[in-house]
Amino acid sequence: MIFETSSPPKGTIRDWLDHRAQTAPDDVCYLFPDGDAPLTWRTLKEQAHKIAVGLTATGIQQGESVAFCMSNGCAALVTFYGILYGGFRVTPLNLAAGPAALGHAISHSKCRYICSAPAQAEILSDALAQTNATPEIINAAEQFSDQDVSVAVLAYITQTDHALLMYTSGTTGVPKGVVHTHASLLAGGWTTAVAHELKPSDRALCVLPLYHINGLCVTVIAPLVSGGSSVICPKFSNSAFWDHCEKYKVTWFSVVPTIISHLLHGNTDPSDAARANLRFGRSASAPLAADTQSSFETRFGLPIVETMGLTETAAQILSNPLPPGVRKIGSPGIAFGNEVTILTPEGVKQDANETGEIAIRGPNVMLEYLDNDEATQNTKTSDGWLLTGDLGYMDDDGYVFVSGRLKELIIKGGENISPREIDDSLYAHPDVVEAGAFAIACDTYGQRVEAAVKLADNSQASEADLLELCRSKLGKFKSPDRIHFLAELPKGPSGKIQRLKLLDLFGG
């Protein structure tokens, strides 16, 4: 069992963990800045096996959901692998989702057990108050640490069995449960490893939560497939980011545009030692403004590889090539390991440079939405394409350019306006750290444009300054009528700005 760039991984998560423990038992695979001891492949496999045996002894059935409600750290990582190793369907609970969404995930997944830790007791209590479900809460990493695995028999699993049930953010309705098999989950890590040419010597810095598909597949599953390692941080810290890169000899990191902007507006730079090891930074989960990317690369001398991914595709669907390959600023790149096309509303393939809905087909595509046949059928075509809900076009070289979400388009006087156009114009101002445009109901035009921004400390930029900037780039019709100033814009667990919450704040 080896990492091949020509075909997706075969087998299960259990198979790959066994393989790493047998072939590179003493290689460090995951490190933890919060003080936990590093894990080798051997110790990870041993701890995951014990958790798997302990869960099996409770009577949980193969393929049954076992929820996972923990912050980043060693206990969270071994629990995640233990659930999968036992043949159960790991169901991460989004700690930032709010009680109602968590309660929905708990009841909809039909989980009988939630693996958690004391730090999450209040969050779980509030979530359970939203549902009639009564799962048992256990601290699996601690409770099963002394399990005897010598005579235990685990469930037989195959690559087509359920592995992951992850709920969407629910920004446009009730969160849907995305089901991935062992095959599609591994393929999600594989597409990252292929695009970024990951080797066993590569080490990622993970600052995104493991209950989000980006943090999970890109910086946990990709090292499993490639044989590399990852530094699992409790959360993003602007002040500690570059220090962690230096201390742990990080070669790449995966972040989101808001983090790139915060680093750009921070007061610290990577040391020469950190720069010597770093190959690239990776941006995902939301479009990266061209001015932000250019300014970051100019200041830090480090290439940013913009990518794109979805929960439904186990993260990555597109990526720019690494240098010296062509990186097109403003594009999340080309397909690696899957196919991409642009479709009309009737499902017909668009010509190059014509706008339509971005669709993906490949081994990393989800199996289904759990217990929601209608949503599955509306998202997956009969010939295997997954409709992303994103609008964009593909140029003559196969690079995709995203213009916005179908459901986020601002329709002003019958004209479609992408919120990203406004965001990018605002990011062109050197003091704008975060920006989010949104639609407000309007009697004259149906909808009008407004935006919210976070400015750098001590900025003197005014609303008039930013409005003039937008008008100079977009013209008056597309520019915001108002700009609101916030200390922080509302964001989801991946760092993506939540436009509907901006509407809640300023829409009425």
For residue 243, the domain's CATH number is 3.40.50.12780
Same domain, 395 and 459: no
Show pLDDT as tens, one digit a residue, over the chain (508 residues). Answer: 678 888 999 999 999 999 999 999 999 999 999 999 999 999 999 999 999 999 999 999 999 999 999 999 999 999 999 999 999 999 999 998 888 889 999 999 999 999 999 999 999 999 999 999 999 999 999 999 999 998 889 999 999 999 999 998 654 467 899 999 999 999 999 999 999 999 999 999 999 999 999 999 999 999 999 999 999 999 999 999 999 999 999 999 999 888 999 999 999 999 999 999 999 999 998 788 889 999 999 999 999 999 999 999 999 999 999 999 999 999 999 999 999 999 998 999 999 999 999 999 999 999 999 999 999 999 999 899 999 988 999 999 999 998 877 777 787 876 778 888 899 999 999 999 999 999 888 777 778 899 999 999 999 999 999 999 999 988 888 899 999 999 999 987 767 888 888 888 887 5
330 phi-psi bin (left φ>0, alpha ψ -120 to 50, beta other): left
Q: Scan for tokens 């059928």, then name that residue.
A: 377
Based on the fold, state whether residues 98 and 180 are members of the same structural domain: yes
pTM of the model: 0.88
Residues forming a β-bridge with 357: 343, 391
What pLDDT, on the 0 to 100 scale, is given for residue 173? 61
Asked if residue 212 and residue 99 are part of one domain, the reply reads no
Is 277 a domain residue? yes
Check whether residue 138 and residue 264 sit in a common domain. Answer: no
State phi, psi for 190 to the nearest 5 degrees.
-65, -40
User: Is residue 5 in a domain?
Assistant: no
Best CA proximity match to 350, nearest among 406, 390, 410, 395: 395
From 131, 166, 190, give the residue that closes a domain.
190
HSE at residue 393, side-chain half, CA atoms within 13 A, is 8
| Cis preceding linkage at 38, omega within 30 | no
Q: Is residue 243 part of a domain?
A: yes
- Of the CA atoms within 13 Å of residue 42, those in its CB half-sphere come to 6
**Residue 4 lies inside a defined structural domain of this protein:** no
Pairwise CA distance, residues 175 & 181, whole Å:
19
Domain count within the chain:
3
152 and 213 share one domain: no
Same domain, 119 and 137: yes
* pLDDT at residue 193, as a whole number: 97
Token pair 């980043």 is found at: 72
Q: What is the predicted pLDDT for the residue at 420?
A: 85
* Strand arrangement, sheet containing 386-394: 339-343, 356-361, 386-394, 400-405
- Are 154 and 96 in a shared domain? yes
**Angle at CA 383, nearest 5°, toward 377 and 384?**
70
Decide if 145 is inside a domain.
yes
In which element (H, E) is residue 438 found?
A: strand 432-442
The helix (run of H) or strand (run of E) holding residue 52 is helix 41-57
Cis peptide before 419, with omega less than 30 degrees from 0? no
Contact present, 91 and 211 (Cβ < 8 Å): no
Distances (CA, A) of 447 to 1, 406, 444, 450, 474: 55, 15, 8, 10, 17
Residue 187, SS3 per DSSP = helix
Q: Are residues 442 and 353 in the same domain?
A: no
Phi-psi region of 353 (alpha: psi -120 to 50; beta: other; left: phi over 0): left
Structural domain boundaries, residue 415: 409-506
Asked if residue 353 is part of any domain, the answer here is yes
The answer to the question of residue 6 being in a domain is no
Tell me the chain's radius of gyration from C-alpha atoms. Answer: 22
- Is residue 2 assigned to a domain? no
Q: What is the CATH number of the domain that holds 428?
A: 3.30.300.30
Say whether both 302 and 250 belong to one domain: yes
21 and 131 housed in the same domain: yes
**Is residue 246 located within the same domain as residue 279?**
yes
Residues 253 and 128 in one domain: no
Q: Where are the alpha helices (DSSP H) in 399-462?
A: 419-427
Please tell me the distance from the alpha carbon of residue 161 to that of residue 184, in angstroms, as a whole number. 10
Q: 164: part of which helix (H) or strand (E)?
A: strand 162-167
DSSP letter (8 states) at residue 215: I
